[in-house]
Structure 1
């Protein structure tokens, strides 16, 4: 009964603060203070100072601002325009044709930005007007963009994977490698569905108007290919063990600056804007991590996570039923919070339960990100839906209906990940086993 009362009080305080418009980091820290003051005799000031310092003064976090800055630099090289011009000539013969630009374009930009909303917004600004002008079905264009925008959370280098790695004390390099195959799987599911949809509705897909030779296609992709090579080098250097995540991020920033200079888009204004944008985003994320770290330690003093973990053992709840319950929880939270906030908010309580159930934390990190992705397009109030509503002017229910097939595809992806955990664990195991 004491556990129930404590949990209700703390959850009530959290939602009261979030509903009142408090920053997520402040809300997390405030709940930690309430937990220590009401349910523990430990000194809050000392615990806050040590936990915040311990969570933020770590070399692991150094890759975070570097990857964010890399994305900010490439964002200002008109990458979205280059993606459309570079990808479109190669996709004319596929069923669905330029619909695949949404999917592959989001996958490319996802590897740059690491943000779901930024991916949907940036690619959508270019792709939606162009595809509608060419006569593609508006509903499917919006739906494919809503679904594909979520790839920003999973495909490495992913900011949310860095946050999870720090919170759960799991290797960020291993998480990046683990995210590759699930990211490819989700993109593959989307492209397969787009192709089947196009074959069943041939009248809604315009004829191929890209009659180019191979070298003409290469010429059209001349500004996209270097970006793809840079992303491939950053991820490949991590996988091959040539560089740590932080070193790879530094290479990514240097390469982004070189590409930006080569394309003529590196000006003092774009440089300073990218640097300030990366600083703001990184400070926000680290602030949230600090608040979550304090909450995590505070929860440990109250004994709630330990008691919940013991309950899991006593109930003998199977890992699958635990994951089903957590999936519902994450989808609900994703309706109200961004992905990073969901991860740092839940790890303090959930990770002891997950470990008690014998679930691998590396696999669980990929599962969490995939489910959080899914929640970004959860009808009717997913985060990406509001982004696309602003882009298209359509009401939120129309956008939600357009995104529903892709939401269901992500449910399938979560099921596949649970049925075949090797999708996430095989590649890291190969990297570890390699001499």
Structure 2
């Protein structure tokens, strides 16, 4: 038996990572770690109650409370919307619609990755779907037109992570449920940071294109205003879907769940309009959405149980007290947590990072004086970094599959955009108004 919660927390971390490295599913790993914590800690119970009875009570209570949430129904709906769009012609329409508008911008069609990913992120909510859908079209198109492949890959890797930051975001939904933060406010708070980060990516692309003219093809098609206006017909359906999904949330007319249902309906309408929705593709979209949603819910369930155990045996309180006694300033605490998230990003996916760390980290952050809304956007940016952090960066695997390049080449191409995303996290600390401005305007 272990009586010190701090020592037990270290033991549980070793157990959890050991289970993960052994290949056990994340949900099972979290549940098993929670059970181990109850068995290893010196829990004092009445003689009539066994430790297994207490574990059963905690597990039943945490599983029910974490999954019995109306807000959680938005999750499978947004997943389904992304799966349907993934199997339609929306990415091709985005490309043909954006090309005439970007040929005069420094960097030209390199920006198509940033703009297309930003727009697709606003209707899919998933970084993986955004990267895969946009990348399948743009990488081959840019290569055929004579653009430098490394900058194409880097811009796609960076911009693809915007699926987590630009609402609707699956990570924001999960964070909102676990932290009891308004999902609608999280969506609104992510807009300005998402636009700023996309702008930073575009500025870097423009600078690289000016400094290295050889990255651009020597000749490029010319487009006049008649071409640009005709291209709007390919862009307007996407803008209409974004307005339908997010407009109601921002105006307070719909909840995130209702907006997700509208998004699914809108994606089905788009698929029918483009005439490329078959029973086979619809069945594949439904199966994939069910698998993804069940996987996420299982992780949430395990994290909720571990959170209950952490609170029951006093780990969260002990860790909070320990860090408080270190005398760290609030922003030094954020620096330490940022380094922790960078490390976790090397070995875990984004959803796992959020559900595994939030039960312990959030009370400490709130005690240090940070708003849960601001911390939610900070966590999302750190999770974005996990998408392009070796060796488990999921976006790296997606791009490797699409581009048929080795991992080292992709990492070199991605590194500048990794640094830019890291700089965005610093800007968020320096200017928290980036998060609070829009939610405050909505309240007024």
**TM-score class normalised by the smaller sequence:** over 0.9
CA positional deviation for 1:118: 2.5
Q: How is 1:282-321 mapped onto 2 (pairs within 5 angstroms)?
A: 282-321=293-332
- Report the counterpart of residue 261 of structure 2 in structure 1: 250
Q: Distance in 2 between the 1:143 and 1:274 partners?
A: 28
Q: Distance in 1 between the 2:152 and 2:177 partners?
A: 36
Q: Is the 8 A contact 1:66 1:249 kept in 2?
A: yes
- Give the alignment partner of residue 359 of structure 1, picking from 365, 370, 393: 370
CA positional deviation for 1:381: 5.2
RMSD across aligned positions (CA): 1.6
CA positional deviation for 1:393: 2.6
- Report the counterpart of residue 371 of structure 1 in structure 2: 382
Q: Distance in 2 between the 1:204 and 1:157 partners?
A: 34
Q: Is the 8 A contact 2:6 2:319 kept in 1?
A: no
CA positional deviation for 1:166: 0.6
- Give the alignment partner of residue 33 of structure 1, picking from 29, 32, 35: 35
Q: Distance in 1 between the 2:319 and 2:284 partners?
A: 46
Q: Distance in 2 between the 1:343 and 1:381 partners?
A: 15
Q: Distance in 2 between the 1:356 and 1:344 partners?
A: 19
TM-score normalised to the size of structure 2? Answer: 0.94
Aligned-partner SS, 1:400: helix
2:20 pairs with 1:18: yes
Q: Is the 8 A contact 2:31 2:303 kept in 1?
A: yes
- Give the alignment partner of residue 172 of structure 1, picking from 178, 183, 194: 183
- Give the alignment partner of residue 79 of structure 1, picking from 86, 90, 93: 90
Q: Distance in 2 between the 1:208 and 1:260 partners?
A: 35
2:170 pairs with 1:159: yes
Q: Distance in 1 between the 2:201 and 2:143 partners?
A: 20
- Report the counterpart of residue 146 of structure 1 in structure 2: 157
Q: Is the 8 A contact 1:115 1:152 kept in 2?
A: yes
TM-score normalised to the size of structure 1? Answer: 0.96
- Give the alignment partner of residue 230 of structure 1, picking from 211, 217, 241: 241
- Report the counterpart of residue 410 of structure 1 in structure 2: 421
Q: Distance in 1 between the 2:86 and 2:234 partners?
A: 13
Q: Deviations over 1:10-61 (max 9, x none)?
A: 0111011101111111111111111112213561011101110011011111
- Give the alignment partner of residue 263 of structure 1, picking from 257, 271, 274: 274
Q: Is the 8 A contact 1:14 1:27 kept in 2?
A: yes
Q: Distance in 2 between the 1:265 and 1:425 partners?
A: 41
- Give the alignment partner of residue 204 of structure 1, picking from 194, 198, 215: 215
CA positional deviation for 1:328: 0.8
Q: Is the 8 A contact 2:126 2:163 kept in 1?
A: yes
Q: Is the 8 A contact 2:348 2:392 kept in 1?
A: no
Q: Deviations over 1:266-290 (max 9, x none)?
A: 3222222222221111111111111
Q: Is the 8 A contact 2:83 2:129 kept in 1?
A: no
Q: Distance in 2 between the 1:406 and 1:67 partners?
A: 27
Flag the 1:101–1:411 CA change in 2: closer, same or farther, 3 A: same
CA positional deviation for 1:221: 4.1
- Report the counterpart of residue 400 of structure 1 in structure 2: 411
Q: Distance in 2 between the 1:372 and 1:253 partners?
A: 25
Q: Distance in 1 between the 2:380 and 2:249 partners?
A: 20
Q: Deviations over 1:188-245 (max 9, x none)?
A: 0000111111111123212563423334323334233202221123112111111111
Flag the 1:225–1:208 CA change in 2: closer, same or farther, 3 A: farther
Segment of structure 1 superposing worse, 355-364 or 249-258: 249-258
**Aligned residues between the structures:** 433
Q: Is the 8 A contact 2:5 2:315 kept in 1?
A: yes
Q: Is the 8 A contact 1:380 1:397 kept in 2?
A: no
Q: Deviations over 1:304-335 (max 9, x none)?
A: 10111122332332110111111111111111
Structure 2 unaligned spans of 5+: 45-50
